[in-house]
Structure 1
Amino acid sequence: MMRIRILCAGFGGQGALLIGKLVAEAAMAEGNHVTWLPSYGPEMRGGTANVMVIVSDKPIGSPIFTRIDALVALNQPSLEKFAPQCISGSNILSNSSLCTEIPVPEGVTLVNAPFTRIAEEVGDTKVSNMVGLGALIEMTRCVERKTVEEHLHQMLEKKNPWLLELNLSAISRGADYMAAIKKGAALRA
């Protein structure tokens, strides 16, 4: 049985909810059962925002979970708040451009990736969330990258074609970064 509980979190405006939305839409397109449950802080801008996504090949009883299989933390407060909810065998991706390392539960893998720096190299720090999305997909294989890219084409091709290439490039760079991390870990094992 395939089931993964993903939590994406950051400040409002960082794009955590978009990561979750793209994963959820891609998972549905691939024939999986999906829940997408956003949570917003009370602030208009700069407050907290997170989203719980469950992807499963079986029906899902509740969209709420307290144990996380994969966490994408776009900022330090999100990392500190949600890392303790990660279970043994889970993965944490943190934006090392904005997060410092913290102790994580035993059996949890923490990968600090410079989402913001990579996004800057791609051309705009606003796509740091897409760098995180690419890394998440490569790390968990929760959805196919091609499916996410198809959804981005549908969203952006006509309205903002210049954003399409920027986002696709950011996803690719995030996936490449994670693939290099995984390859290095395999070489050290």
Structure 2
Amino acid sequence: MLEQVLLAGFGGQGVLSMGQFLASAALVEEKNVSWLPSYGPEMRGGTANCQVIVSDKPIASPIISRPSTLIVMNRPSLDKFVDQLMPGGLILINSSLIDAPVTRTDVEIVKVDTHELAVEAGNAKAANMVMLGAYLKLRKTVEPDAVVTCMQEKFTGRKAKLVDVNKKALELGMEAVK
């Protein structure tokens, strides 16, 4: 198994966190993993993306030239990365912010209304977890329980209340792509 994911959006949308949760969950499952972030100096509001590789074999390089999956949370990210996706790959599109058509016919396209589902989960900022849930349902790279385990480790103390909201967002994302 080799899954190469490029996740992209504006800073503040939780793109890097989404990638970290995927990578951390892969570690929980004792898979080989690489997480490589990239963001502009302005952080919130600027562009942010990360590359995550999950494999059952050693990973030679953390750099992805042709991802098998592209997760885009905003229009500029779609425009910038759509042509990099390998033929037969999967594009997950945040339809809350992206209404542009994708002209490629050699890829699978799945649109997810992340904002509406995040609000339903209890926090609009959980849109990234909605998207991660949709991704996990389609690609099955890691088990959702491994992601929840990572949430419980990350959100402690005063932030412990975020576990339930993010878990619900993950579940709603999975249900959205049945």
TM-score of the superposed pair, with normalisation by structure 2 = 0.96
Q: How many residues align?
A: 178
State how far apart, in whole Å, the 2-side matches of 1:82 and 1:152 are. Answer: 28
CA drift of 1:43 comes to: 1.5
List gaps (5 residues or longer) in structure 1.
180-189
RMSD: 1.2
CA drift of 1:154 comes to: 1.4
> Residue 113 of structure 2 corresponds to which residue in structure 1?
114
State how far apart, in whole Å, the 2-side matches of 1:149 and 1:118 are. Answer: 18
CA drift of 1:142 comes to: 0.8
Q: Does 1:73 align with 2:62?
A: no
Percent identity (aligned): 43
Structure-to-structure mapping, 1:136-175, within 5 angstroms: 136-175=135-174
Is the contact made by 2:12 and 2:43 (CA closer than 8 Å) also made in structure 1?
no
> Residue 54 of structure 1 corresponds to which residue in structure 2?
53
Identify the structure with bigger relative contact order (alpha carbons < 8 Å, sequence gap 6+): 2
Question: Does 55-64 or 99-108 show the bigger shift?
Answer: 99-108
Structure-to-structure mapping, 1:5-154, within 5 angstroms: 5-154=4-153
CA drift of 1:45 comes to: 2.3
Question: 1:117-154: per-residue Cα shift (whole Å, max 9, x none)?
Answer: 11112222100001001001111111110110111111
Is the contact made by 1:75 and 1:99 (CA closer than 8 Å) also made in structure 2?
yes
Question: Does 4-13 or 155-164 show the bigger shift?
Answer: 155-164
TM-score of the superposed pair, with normalisation by structure 1 = 0.90
What SS does the corresponding residue of 1:160 show, helix, strand or coil? helix
State how far apart, in whole Å, the 2-side matches of 1:17 and 1:6 are. Answer: 12
CA drift of 1:68 comes to: 1.1
Question: 1:47-79: per-residue Cα shift (whole Å, max 9, x none)?
Answer: 000000000111111100110111111111111
Is the contact made by 1:88 and 1:105 (CA closer than 8 Å) also made in structure 2?
no
CA drift of 1:20 comes to: 0.5
Residues 60/104 of structure 1: CA separation in 2 closer, same or farther (3 Å cut): farther
CA drift of 1:157 comes to: 4.0
What SS does the corresponding residue of 1:88 show, helix, strand or coil? coil
